Chains A and B, each alone.
Chain A
Amino acid sequence: MSMKKTLQVVVSGNSMWPSLVDGQLLDFQEYVDQELSIDDIIVFKHPWKSKLVMIKRIKKINSQDELWVVGDNPDPTASEDSHNFGFISKNHVIGLHIV
């Protein structure tokens, strides 16, 4: 059984409000091949900006096993997410939030 690393993540911005707030520190489990489910919070590399790490919630998983990720903030201007860049591959996922 492989040991997965724990990653510490600090939230920058308010797109995950009210669940997570700017500056909040969270523990994530390194993503290797764990099962991902709807409503999981993940950190991942932006599909178009590889240096940008983002934090969002999975809201859909399609038949190609790709993820639709969105912010929790109900303000539509508050989140850059799958509404902007579409489904993301699991290859972009870095960590899974430990509840």
Chain B
Amino acid sequence: MSVIKASAHCDGPCGVYDPASARIAGEAVQSMTKKMLALEYPTIFSSESMAAYMNTMSRYAAIKEEEAQKCKDELLVLWTDFFKPVHLESNPELHDTFWKAAKLCSACKVEVSAEHAQELMDAIESIHNMFWAIKGKEVPWIRAS
């Protein structure tokens, strides 16, 4: 009797997904937000001190803007490419979590809000937990900062 070879392979090329990319970008957003809020206004007004202050603040804002967009992009790829309808059964809050997380990325760009930056990190942590539960692996939530 001949043996039939039945394919049980993936939809190659295999996608490599990891919410760590969003987490790193989210941490950068939070870090820049904290630095912006902590940066003290110059007490001695001079061209040099104001230029230095504005330069530093501008750099923080630019990085926050860039990393928030990066975080949003990473989250949207995970949401639309990795997760399938079947995962809604075990994670009924999946769409709501991603939608809020994407909205928080936008809020963190528009505002300088420590509260929203923390809420973004909390949402990414929820996504991390959903992702690794689906993959069947125990991966602890660890922050770089």
Contact = CB atoms under 8 A, between A and B. Distances in A.
Interface in A26-73: 28, 43, 46, 52-56, 70-71
Contacts of A77: 10-11, 14-15, 17, 82
Interface in A65-99: 70-71, 74-80, 83-84, 94-95
A83 B8 contact: no
Interface in B1-48: 1-12, 14-15, 17
Which size class do B's interface residues fall under? 20 to 34
Chain B binding surface, main DSSP class: loop
Interface string B71-87: 00000000000111111
Interface residues of A, number: 35
B7 A54 contact: yes
A74 B134 contact: yes
B51 to A, nearest CB: 50
Q: Which of A6, A13, A14 has the most CB of B within 10 A?
A: A13
Given A8-B1, A8-B2, A76 B87 contact: yes
Given A6-B1, A76-B84, 18 more contacts: A10-B3, A11-B6, A11-B8, A14-B8, A15-B10, A28-B4, A43-B4, A46-B7, A54-B6, A56-B8, A74-B135, A74-B136, A77-B10, A77-B15, A78-B10, A80-B9, A83-B84, A94-B4
